[in-house]
A and B are shown apart, each in its own frame.
Chain A
Amino acid sequence: MLNVIWLLLLVSGIITAAYHGNIAVVTEAALGAAKGAVEVCFDLVGVMALWLGIMKIAEKAGLVESLAKIMKPLTVKLFPSVPPEHPAMGAIILNLSANMLGLGNAATPFGMKAMQELQKLNNNSKEASEAMCTFLALNTSCITLIPATIIGVRLSFGSANPVEIVGPCILATAFSMFVAVSLDYWFRKRRKQGRIR
């Protein structure tokens, strides 16, 4: 599916540009984006190193495990295939907490760590495991309690009440999270039934 979407983005872009007689823009956009992608990764290197370093300390001190224990009642329902005290759980919880606090920079490293741990449980397969799909459903639809960036933008344009959007944001995300989690649950159920038959 990703193959199709990727191809559609490229092909529709190039055809549109050609139709408008503006094909040069394709070259410029493609080369610029390729360079930009590497810059994004290099920006990420320092932050990743910092947070995974801190997380390693938390792990060895037993903090990640205690966090996983606290959240156990919820996580066993969402991730039945992951042992409740597995390091993956701690990383998942840290990732989601960082997302909720709007700390996007810290969330990505925790998320990668969670994926690496889940991949160990997945026997290094090339296919996503169910736990990974659930984790990403939660991650991409996660509630942000403090959307700091957008509050900052509103403030800079002189909004009378820059934080008024927080309530609506939480409501809208709660709805999308509900949809994502239910759909993920439905897919998991369907696959399981398919296997029995």
Chain B
Amino acid sequence: MLGEIMNIISTWAIPFLLLTIPVYGFIKKVPVYETFVEGAEEGFITAVKIIPFLVGMMVAISVFRASGAMEGLSNILNPVTAKLGAPSEILPLAIMRPLSGSGVLGMATELMRIYGPDSFIGRLASVMQGTTDTTFFVLTVYFGSVGIKKYKYSIITGLSADISGFIAALYICNLLYR
């Protein structure tokens, strides 16, 4: 039931916006097509502008992950997080969470394939995937697109949100599914 409603909302959201905004604009006498193209041009420029920032970030993350350094870090952290009720299989996912969205999705999918979506690990991986955003992607891309070089305290804020999201996900899953 709840699933169906959510499905309907997520399938209808985009067609709904694509219908109502241009129609409303037309009623308000906005030259809809010309305005659309004008805005679309900005979109193109912005997307190209973020390429260097994304290249820099993705190269570093990819080297970190492929070399086994991430695994090493997760082995170091494991004794601490095990006390919080985190299975060691889930740690790489937690480390990846702020770094790469597609990386996390791939890892969560892999965990669900191995352990099943209704296992403790599968459920925890699902909750972690659905919690918080990819901090480094957002920061590099958003700041990069407007030429900001000094991020001030926003890295600390973003990473604290990731860590607290991870701890909350652990706590809730241990409470509900163990």
CB under 8 Å from chain B, chain A span 17-50: 17, 20, 22, 25-26, 28-30, 32-34, 36-38, 40-42, 44-45, 47-50
Cross-chain contact B154 with A49 (CB below 8 angstroms): no
B166 to chain A, nearest CB (A): 8
A76 to chain B, nearest CB (A): 20
B105 to chain A, nearest CB (A): 7
Contact of B132 among A48, A54, A140 (CB under 8 A): A140
Which of A22, A41, A116, A133 gathers most chain B CB within 10 Å? Answer: A41
Contacts of A41 in B (CB 8 A): 47-48, 50-51, 54
Contacts of A139 in B (CB 8 A): 133, 138, 142
A-contact bits for B140-178, CB 8 A (1 contact / 0 none): 111101111111111111101110110011001100100
How many residues of A are counted as interface, with CB atoms below 8 angstroms from the partner's CB atoms?
Answer: 108
Cross-chain contact B118 with A132 (CB below 8 angstroms): no
Cross-chain contact B117 with A154 (CB below 8 angstroms): yes
Contacts of A161 in B (CB 8 A): 118
Contacts of B6 in A (CB 8 A): 145-146, 148, 151, 163, 166
B154 to chain A, nearest CB (A): 4
Contacts of B138 in A (CB 8 A): 111, 136, 139-140
Interface size class of B (residues with CB under 8 A): 35 or more
Contacts of A63 in B (CB 8 A): 21, 24-25
Cross-chain contact A28 with B131 (CB below 8 angstroms): no
Q: Indicate whether A154 sits within 8 Å of B126 (C-beta atoms), given known contacts A48-B43, A132-B148.
A: yes
Which residues of A does B touch, CB under 8 Å?
1-2, 5-6, 9-10, 12-17, 20, 22, 25-26, 28-30, 32-34, 36-38, 40-42, 44-45, 47-63, 99, 101-104, 106, 108-109, 111-113, 115-116, 118-119, 124-128, 132-133, 136-137, 139-142, 144-151, 153-154, 157-166, 168-169, 171-173, 175-177, 179-180, 183-184, 187
Since A12-B69, A41-B54, A128-B151 are in contact, a sample of 20 more A-B pairs with Cβ atoms closer than 8 Å, ordered by chain A residue number, is A1-B151, A13-B65, A29-B66, A33-B62, A45-B47, A51-B43, A58-B25, A101-B13, A112-B50, A133-B157, A140-B133, A140-B161, A141-B133, A148-B10, A154-B126, A162-B3, A169-B126, A172-B127, A176-B164, A176-B168
Which residues of B does A touch, CB under 8 Å?
2-3, 6, 9-10, 13-14, 17-18, 21-22, 24-25, 27-28, 30, 32, 35-44, 46-48, 50-51, 54-69, 72-73, 101, 105, 108-109, 112-113, 116-118, 122-123, 126-127, 129-135, 138-143, 145-158, 160-162, 164-165, 168-169, 172-173, 176
